[in-house]
Structure 1
Amino acid sequence: MRKVLLCAVAAAGLAGGLGAAPCALAQVSVNVSIGVPPPAPVYEVVPVARPGYVWAPGYWDWDDRGHKHKWKKGRWERARAGYIYEAPRWIHARDGWMLQPERWEGRGDGRPGRGYKGYHCPPGHAKKGEC
């Protein structure tokens, strides 16, 4: 009886874990517009190149708690074959300033991406003429 109970508990735990897996893989993206433009960029000395890495420059991020811009220092990102790193940038939209997060642009087939010309406009913004 004890063996049957242990097997039932183990099966329930496994089934519960499999049921939660899709939720753990979900991604959420939120765009927030603010009325305050970002300050001028802070000058950072770009370190000597590191093989296999891409320099991600520093940028102004928005601090919701302090309601002000906060500088995020540049850092090294591991390079991804077939992709080009695009740094975060502020876009002036109709409703204010919006931070476009960093991303990796590419085709996924080993060939380089299109850079800024391949920029994807967030849903609903192209119709408003914001991209």
Structure 2
Amino acid sequence: MISRRSLLGGLLTAGIAAAAPIAASRQADAQIFIQPPPPPLRIERRPPPPRPGWVWVSGFWTWDPRRRAYVWVPGRWVAGRPGWRYRDGTWVRRGNTWVYRPGGWWR
């Protein structure tokens, strides 16, 4: 016959072993990754357009995950699209992180 003390010890050990993965997964889920906000936009010297009808696309900051830092992408001229307007990209805060909404052509 199993003694009461042995039975309680076995149940206690089994309970701790079963709860360990739950505690570990809750710790992993509790990690919060916060990407810092982008730096202020740079003031760029806009050279003359290469041809009439070209549109200036402003420079912007992009996140480089390998460097874990923002990197500046300089502005540039692009060929215009008749009847369309170009809207520059923008950074938007979503909760504890920042998301880049790329620019594009709009009617």
Q: Fold match, TM over 0.5?
A: yes
Call closer, same or farther: CA 1:88–1:61 in 2, change over 3 Å: same
Q: Distance in 1 between matches of 2:87 and 2:59?
A: 12
Count, aligned residues: 74
Structure number with bigger Rg: 2
Aligned to 2:77: 76
Q: Is the 8 A contact 1:59 1:74 kept in 2?
A: yes
- Higher relative contact order by CA 8 Å / sep ≥ 6: 1 or 2? 2
Q: Distance in 1 between matches of 2:75 and 2:65?
A: 21
Identity %: 36
Aligned to 1:44: 44
Q: Distance in 1 between matches of 2:80 and 2:34?
A: 32
Superposed CA deviations along residues 91-117 of structure 1, whole A, max 9, x for unmatched, are 1122411000111111xxxxxxxxxxx
Q: Once superposed, what is the RMSD of the aligned Cα atoms?
A: 1.8
* Letter in structure 2 aligned against 1:77: V
SS of the residue corresponding to residue 71 of structure 1 reads strand
Aligned to 2:5: none
Q: Which runs of 5+ in 1 are unaligned?
A: 1-32, 107-131
Q: Which runs of 5+ in 2 are unaligned?
A: 1-32
* Letter in structure 2 aligned against 1:72: V
Could you tell me how far 1:59 is from its partner in structure 2? 0.6
Q: Is the 8 A contact 1:60 1:72 kept in 2?
A: yes
Could you tell me how far 1:34 is from its partner in structure 2? 5.7
Q: Is the 8 A contact 1:91 1:99 kept in 2?
A: yes
SS of the residue corresponding to residue 70 of structure 2 reads strand
TM-score, scaled to structure 2: 0.62
TM-score, scaled to structure 1: 0.52
